[in-house]
Amino acid sequence: MLESYVAGQWQAGKGEGVTVRDAVGGERVCQVSSDGIDFGAAVRHGREVGGPALRAMTFHDRAAALKAMAKHLMAKKEAFYALSSKTGATRADGWVDIEGGIGTVFTYASLVTREMPNDVVMVEGDVERLSKQGSFIGRHILTPKAGVSVHINAFNFPCWGMLEKIAPSLAAGMPVIVKPATPGAFLTQAVVREIIDGGFFPEGAIQLICGSAGDLLDQLDEQDVVTFTGSASTGQKLRAHPNIVAKSIPFTMEADSLNCAILGESVQADDPEFDLFIKEVVREMSVKAGQKCTAIRRVIVPRAQVPAVTEALKARIGKLVVGHPDAEGVRMGSLVGRDQAEDVRAKVERLLQECELIHRDDNLPLTGTDNSGGAFYPPTLLYCDAPLQKHLVHEVEAFGPVSTVMPYDSLADAVAIARLGKGSLVGSLFTHDDREAREVILATAPWHGRMLVLNRDCAGESTGHGSPLAPLVHGGPGRAGGGEELGGLRAVKHYMQRTAVQGSPSTLMAITSEYHPGARVYSDAVHPFKKYFEDLQVGETLVTHRRTVTEADIVNFGCISGDHFYAHFDEIAARDSFFGKRVAHGYFVISAAAGMFVEPSPGPVIANYGLENLRFVEPVAPGDTIRVKLTVKNKIKKAKRGDEKPNGVVVWAIEVTNQEEQLVAVYDIMTLVERRED
């Protein structure tokens, strides 16, 4: 009996449960049951034990834990590959699932470290000035939800499907309860066991339920989150669960969809894009034996190209080596089980009510096996001659190695056919005509979560039609579920509450650990650049001496920089310009400002490595006198790497004013500042 991990213990479900069999040979792998599991205890454990411990960690602490976890899992990958083959997956299929999933964790660890503060709260967006004098302002903050995130996953990616959800959830500070699909739960459990044994996260941060979800959804409340991946019909039932509806519990759904690939009207049979199209369609039919929520189901081609496309597809499909995932040369394995194979067969029969069968080898030779498990299904190609008049091809999905070729007579028809899918995770267009690309993408984008334009220029580095990537959103409208996963920090923010906070600049500075203009500041006799990272405080300020800008400054800066723009050197043209007079270079102003606030002798400041949010507010003319205000805006402690000196990032708010105390320039600079401690 496959054990679940709930409330700090590995525990087996009661009863006989469901038998999970090797997808290739049919041998029993395990029994799966969640009978007897206390789902209420699981939710309470996550909320009361895992949640507080996770929220006590900073974003960077959680990112470091994710990175350590990913390194450990990568070291154990061969054990996962061995189990993966029992799901019918080839080594290449397993790479997407196992190393792709672990790679996603690495990506989130890096992303969070790079783009989120080393704090327990994240400030989002700019200051909103809510009063005339600036004594009343607003900011948006993001804090972790105080519940649990429940992840209900599909069978096709037991590793990636789990890891791509738990990485942003744990990074946000929200404990997870993972509920894998039963057919691949043994592989998910193996990964979770390594995570638990490694102790990367506090107890209660990760729990696992193998088997039915029971009354889990009844235990949730308004602080919890549910994410679902699977069939549209199952997702719709779960989303309509009375408790989900009554308590407005966020429910993100990523459902299987009838994704399309469109061959551009401009593409000819001897173009590189034609070959790319054929390869991509067959790849999407054969990877994971077509069991992908992003797989190409509808192959939309110009009517004149139908004979060439179908012959090329059949020829390439005919070269596929199908069989035991561990056998040499095999490029396509089995479906996840006998039931899935029967489901695909039944769906194909339904599709044949509107389509004709143009390729399926029912006597397909298998390498290294005899299909005793009954889970193999031959690559199948259908043809629908009138896709604008048919409906089953846009509603019924055979979740296996099955695609349907559909002709179009104009680009407008191609767009109309694509839209009939009623919402898809991904669509792809194969064309080298950028005009055609713009027309098709803009017309079909509202029906798709992601769109790929593939041609000779990007094919060498493209990740392909069916590969969701951590920086880009994964999800889609309508039938695809209407949700979004991944998408960089968007995924992390999904598990956090966005709150508008209003108050004085000083109060908001205390809440957010970020300086706001107008907040109380202080200074002492020690120049800020002579202080170590620990000694600097948010709001600490230096006001510099004054400097009068001269004619010589402008001339010298122009000669050094080579910038002889008329507004700086042509008295007559400058008089007739927007400025009404000659002005100093903006970059001279910030260069002069640096000279005024920098302490030149050696000290804890290691380097200046960035400038952001620069705005030139008022012009500076010869004879104007400028002054600089330097304030610690926020601080980001960095983990020590190798032999480098321990350091942190200090963001300084710079305000340059003139003799009238008007702002002439504002910007932020970032410096690496040495820390005392190792």
Catalytic positions are 254, 293
Query: Which pair of tokens denotes residue 499?
Result: 């709150």
Which amino acid makes up residue 661?
Answer: E
What phi and psi, each to the nearest 5 degrees, are found at residue 428? -130, 145
Which tokens is 262 given? 């469109």
Distance (Å, whole) CA 2 – CA 186: 7
Of 71, 93, 70, 72, residue with least CA distance to 81: 93
DSSP, collapsed to helix, strand or coil, labels residue 310 as helix
Distances from the Cα of 537 to the Cα of 446, 570, 610, angstroms:
47, 45, 20
Give the rounded distance of the alpha carbon of 570 from its chain centre: 51
DSSP string, 73-84: HHHTHHHHHHHH
Please give the backbone phi and psi of residue 615, each rounded to the nearest 5 degrees, phi first.
-135, 130
Alpha-carbon radius of gyration of the chain: 30
For residues 398 and 339, the answer to whether their CB atoms sit within 8 Å is no
d(CA 277, CA 272): 9
Measured CA to CA, the distance from residue 578 to residue 374 in angstroms comes to: 78
Contact 130, 500 (CB under 8 A): no
How many Å apart are CA 628 and CA 359, to the nearest integer? 75
Is residue 209 classed as helix, strand or coil in its secondary structure?
Answer: coil
- Asked whether 259 and 298 are in contact (CB, 8 A), the reply is yes
SS (H, E, C) 113-129: HHHCCCCCCEEEEEEEE
For 169, 453, 619, the CA distances from 651, given in Å and listed in that order, are 27, 39, 25
Give the helix ranges, DSSP H, for 130-201.
160-172, 185-198
Measure the N-to-C terminal CA separation of the chain; round to a whole number of Å: 48
